[in-house]
Amino acid sequence: MTTTTLAVLVPLLPFLGAAAGLALGRTAPGFVRPLAVLPTLAALALAVVVAVHQGGDEAVDAATELTPTGSVPIELALHIDGFAALVAVLVAFVATCVQIYSTGYLREDPRYPSYAALVSLFTSAMLLVVYSGDLMVLLVGWEVMGICSYFLVGHYWETPEARAASLKAFLVTKLGDVPFLIGLFALATDAGSFRITRVLGAVANGGLDHPTLIALLLLAGVAGKSAQFPLHTWLPDAMAGPTPVSALIHAATMVAAGVYFIARLLPVFEASQAAMVVLAVMAAVTMAGSALAALAQDDIKRVLAYSTIGQLGYMTGALAVADRGAAVFHLLSHGAFKALLFLAAGVIIHATGTNSLAAMSRMRNLRDRVPDAYWTMTVALLALAAIPPFSGFFSKEAVLGAAEHVTAGHTGHAPAAAGWIVLVAGLVTALLTAAYAMRLWLLAFRGQGAEAPDHGRQPVTMTVVLWVLAAPSLALGGFAYQSFPGWFDGGDLGPTLTTSVLGTGAALVGGIVTYAAWRHTTALTARVPMGAVAAHPEGDAGQVEAEAIASHAPAYGDVARAADPADPGRLLLGPLHRHAAAGFHLDAAYSALFVRPVRAGARLVRFLDREVVETYVRGAGTLPRWLGVAVRRAQTGNVQTYVSALLAGTVVLAVAVVLVATGA
Amino acid sequence: MHLAYPAVLSALLFCTGLYGVLARRNAILVLMSVELMLNAVNLNLVAFDVWLSKTAEETLHSGQALTLFTIAVAAAEIGIGLAIVLAVHRNRGTSDIDKLRDTAEGHESEGHETDTPATETGAEKAEATA
Amino acid sequence: MTLAAETHGFLSPTGVEIAFLLVGLVTFGAALVTVTTRQLVHAALWLVVTLGGLAVEYLLLTAEFIAWVQVLIYVGSVVVLLLFGLMLTKAPIGRSPDADSGNRWAALAVALTAAAALVWVVVDAFRTTWIDLDGPAAGSTKVTGESLFQNWVLPFEALSVLLLAALVGAIVLSRKAKANATQAGAAVDRARADRTDTAATAAEPGKDGVR
């Protein structure tokens, strides 16, 4: 089979798996698990084969036009370069892990068939985005992901948090998608085609008339999908979904799509210096803000969610300095360790029966209960904090190195200002990232207090996946930084001395400071008893998690934070803690800026409709009714009255006729 | 003789009958007024027939023939009308047209009226004169 | 005709005209009393005067057959029927204050307007028209009979069917009314229910009257 055929099969197999899963979900429950795992696994194998075939050489392009579509043709096109091949491998890999993990995590869930089918569809859509060589086809995958995320985040739709979160995820990403769509049309109009290769060719020839406008419009869609400031607010709330879904969304699929999209069309963005600066500012604000917020969260998954936003900030930062190699490198390593983090967090939540770090910090010996999760999560957190030699170190150094490279003004692609912004924000974030990673680790695994509850061994499908993911988290960066440039644009991805020292130093400082703060506050743990655990510790992980999410707000007063004085993050952030826990009140600000005006407008419209428009309508009905009442009074029932009126009318008519006839 | 005399008399009689039909309360008096109107028409017919038969060469005497028909029809009408009035009087205990207002807007049960005509009379009269 | 009218002014009436006017005044006055009197039986009697006056007018117009038919049918039968009706409906004898309804003023207005309009039109149209009453009578029995049985046979026969229908209708109406009255009586008073089979007897109107 040719590479093209194989590449077509990669997104097609999970799609067929999803269709079959949905069709057979009720009639043949025995086939659901194989139908969920095997197509994804096959897609992974095919993606690897495609990557090997492609080998980082010349991009594979194939296109067929189904039907003429007017002035701007839409084609079913494949465009597989090194980025696409590797990202597809990552997507298929993480999706396979998630599917295997889910068989254990949701083993008793009655809605598992539809869940698995939606995950497969999600995977298929992401693979379509990755391989697509046509912007319209890419958009199809992009939007299918949006609707799948809506369903998957709302998987526990019995809880109000999940319902609200799924709606929010859908609406916020759609808010970005509208300008994105307009941007795509503008781009295609300027370039004369939706084909990525032709668009890039047009850009190279300077054929774009409105590069800044297009770039900013596209940026809005990317900010929505990749959860960048200011459209990131859906992501922390999306934690109301099951943990494997979080892993899938955060590691490989949805949020990666935005970064991947910019990486694909980087020349379009490079054509506008303003867009690059905006991108840099966006990345910097996202990075630093999300790291601060992560330090204050109490829900273990919300910590990871904010860390995802921060790491995506690194990727967009790398794109802002026009190094897409670094961005995709970080995307790959982040995909591995973030999937691991989420899946391990799922194991922890199942084991402890709570998603609250405050409650976990009051449990002793949790690491003995879940040794697999403990070791793999330690690896992943080290990767997240960018400690050498874990993979996160190399990819983050690639980003920082690229930024440092731009600050020196060695490139014509990105403005130096963008470089400085990304570099400074990246270093600050490195410190904060290490701090919250340390805090998470300390609170979760170094708790003191009662013995952690023993719910027996975790399902083997869940623990094996953790170790499978631990391998790339540990070693991907070190092995790959020399070989990846061949797949990418050829730029050097190796760590430079300056940024390595600065970044690692910042991370170490963050970790040590947090440890010191923790030593300082941990004594308080015993004095302030806290903790709420799920009511059904024997249920499957999905049920435990749903109960934990639903009980967090009643137990602690908020979904995001807990009033725990033993939290080192509280000490470190000081007065900022309250604001950071609430995501810097961005939701409240949006509520004040957009939601309330819209609601007020709706109320106004309702008022106008009910009181003004309806008054006329009612008046139109009332007047005839009054007339009817008046006329009804003539209905006396007295025949003589009727005859009088009849004859009077006759006389009048007769006189009128006579007058007319005589010409008077 | 001037044709105007019978014609005017006929018109005046007709209007007198008209007034009676509209103003009288008792159904039988209304029937009498109807007879007046019919007679006015008859007078008209006869007068014009006489005039025509004197001036025209050949006539069918249609006026007089129609007068005869009208008289016959009036006899039939008075028979039927009186039968109706009697039937109403038996059912309702009254032959006052004012009180036969079942078709009036907001009219309530009529069975009530049959049982207690006396109590209803005053109220309905007040309503009728109002 | 026009020439004839010119030779006969309104200020020089013939004897027939004077007779017609006087009888007409009596007739009209009797008609007015008929529709305004408060005594119901008197109204019927004044109606007799009106109808008789009209019969005289017919005679003056040389329509003698019509005149006798008028006397026979109207004065002879219709008025008698009306008097029967008045009696059967328990019409009060003597002055009844509510003989006229509240509709009276509207009726008066309508009637006056109609009278004004009609008189004006009629006078305007036939001011100069003259009836020549000389020569053979226009409405003698011979003439009327010839006309009726030569030219108007079919309507005449149809009229006889109409009369028959009216006769049957009057009987049906009366009988139906009695049956209904019986049912109403039974519904009102259960104690009298066993006597319903006798309800169709001639005593029924009297019983109604008692009620």
- Residue in C with minimal Cα distance to A647: C110
Q: Which of B20, B79, B87 comes nearest C35 by C-beta? A: B20
pLDDT tens by residue, A134-160? 888 888 888 888 888 888 888 888 878
Mean pLDDT of B51-65: 81
pTM beyond cutoff 0.90: no
pLDDT exceeds cutoff 60 at B55: yes
Above 50 in pLDDT, residue B129? no
- Amino acid at the residue A77: A
Residue that has been written with the tokens 């859908």 in this structure:
A170
Name the residue with tokens 């009033």: A563
Q: Tell me the pLDDT of chain A averaged across its residues.
A: 81
pLDDT band per the 50, 70, 90 thresholds, residue C24: very high
Which pLDDT score, from 0 to 100, does residue A539 have? 64
Q: Do residue A640 and residue B22 have CB atoms under 8 angstroms apart?
A: yes
CATH number at residue C67: 1.20.120.1200
Per residue in A294-323, pLDDT (tens digit) is 888 888 888 888 888 888 888 888 888 888
Nearest to C83 by CA among A287, A374, B82: B82
Give yes or no for residue A566 having a pLDDT over 80.
Answer: no
How does pLDDT run across C124-174, given as a tens digit for each residue?
888 888 888 877 777 788 888 888 888 889 999 999 999 999 989 888 887
Q: Please tell me if residue A638 touches chain B, with a CB cutoff of 8 Å.
A: yes
Average pLDDT, chain B: 79
Is the Cβ–Cβ distance between A87 and A7 less than 8 Å? no
Looking at the structure of chain C, the number of domains it has is 2
A342-347: average pLDDT: 85
Where do the structural domains in chain B lie, given as residue ranges?
4-98+119-129
For A393-432, write each residue's pLDDT tens digit.
888 888 888 888 888 766 666 777 888 888 888 888 888 8
Give yes or no for A639 touching B (CB within 8 A).
yes
* CA angle at A456 for the pair A342 and A365, rounded to the nearest 5°: 70
Does C144 fall in a domain? no
Residue A531 pLDDT exceeds 70: no
Domain contains C40: yes
Calculate mean pLDDT across residues A241-248.
83
Task: Give C 84-103 residues with CB within 8 A of chain A.
Answer: 101, 103
- CA A210 to chain CA mean position, Å: 29
Q: Do B101 and A632 touch (CB under 8 A)?
A: no
Determine, for residues A644 and C110 on separate chains, whether the beta-carbon distance falls below 8 Å: yes
Which residue range(s) make up the domain with C161? Answer: 152-211
**Token code pair at residue A606:** 């309702």
Asked if the C-beta of C114 comes within 8 angstroms of chain A's C-beta atoms, the answer is yes
Q: Tell me, yes or no, whether C143 lies in a domain.
A: no
Based on the fold, state whether residues C43 and C124 are members of the same structural domain: yes
Rounded CA separation B80/C171 (Å):
9
**How far is the CA of C145 from the CAs of A342, B62, C59, C142, C151, in angstroms?**
122, 12, 17, 5, 10
pLDDT band at residue A254 using 50, 70 and 90 as cut-offs: confident
- Does C103 contact A655 at a Cβ distance shorter than 8 Å? no
Checking if the pLDDT of A628 tops 50, the result is yes
- The minimum CA-CA distance between A626 and chain C, rounded to whole Å, is 25
**B-chain residue closest to A646, CA distance:** B22
Burial class (CB in 10 A: 0-12, 13-18, 19+), B92: middle
* Residue of C7 and A480 predicted with greater confidence: A480
Three-state secondary structure readout of A339-370: HHHHHHHHHHHHHHCCCEHHHHCCEECHHHHC
pLDDT band at B11 (very low <50, low <70, confident <90, very high): very high
Q: What is the pLDDT of residues C184-208, one digit of tens each?
A: 554 444 444 444 444 434 344 433 4
Best of A636, A638, A639, A640 to disrupt the C interface by mutation (most C CBs within 10 Å)? A640
Question: pLDDT > 70: what percent of chain A?
Answer: 92
pLDDT score, position B108: 55
Confidence band, pLDDT 50/70/90 cuts, at residue A215: confident
What is the dihedral sign for C-alpha A577, A578, A582, A585?
A: negative
Predicted complex ipTM exceeds 0.90: no
pLDDT at C103: 79
- Report whether pLDDT(A120) > 80: yes
Tens digits of residue pLDDT in A256-300: 888 888 888 888 888 888 888 888 888 888 888 888 888 888 888
pLDDT exceeds cutoff 70 at A525: no
Look at C110 and A651 and tell me if their CB atoms are within 8 Å.
yes
Residue A529 pLDDT: 64
Structure tokens at B118: 């006396």
Strand bridging mode A450-451 / A363-364:
parallel
For residues C41-55, average pLDDT: 91
Contacting residues of B for C54, CB less than 8 Å apart: 13, 39, 42-43
Residue A563 confidence class, pLDDT cut points 50, 70, 90: low
User: Residue C185: which of C206, C157, C154 has the closest Cα?
Assistant: C206
Report the C-alpha gap between A650 and A551 in whole angstroms: 85
Residues of chain A in contact with residue C35, where contact means CB-CB under 8 angstroms, are none
Residue C7: the pLDDT is 63
Longest Cα pair distance anywhere in chain C, in angstroms? 81
DSSP symbol at C38: S
Q: What are the phi and psi torsion angles at A161 (to 5°)?
A: -60, -45
Chain B: touching chains (3 or more CB pairs < 8 Å): A, C
Residue C82 lies in a domain: yes
Mean pLDDT value across residues A367-376: 82
Min mean pLDDT across A172-176, A544-548, A554-558, C187-191 is at C187-191
Q: Any idea where the domains of chain A sit in the sequence?
A: 1-271, 273-572, 582-633, 638-664
pLDDT band at A452 (very low <50, low <70, confident <90, very high): low
What CATH number was assigned to the domain covering residues B4-98+119-129?
1.10.287.3510
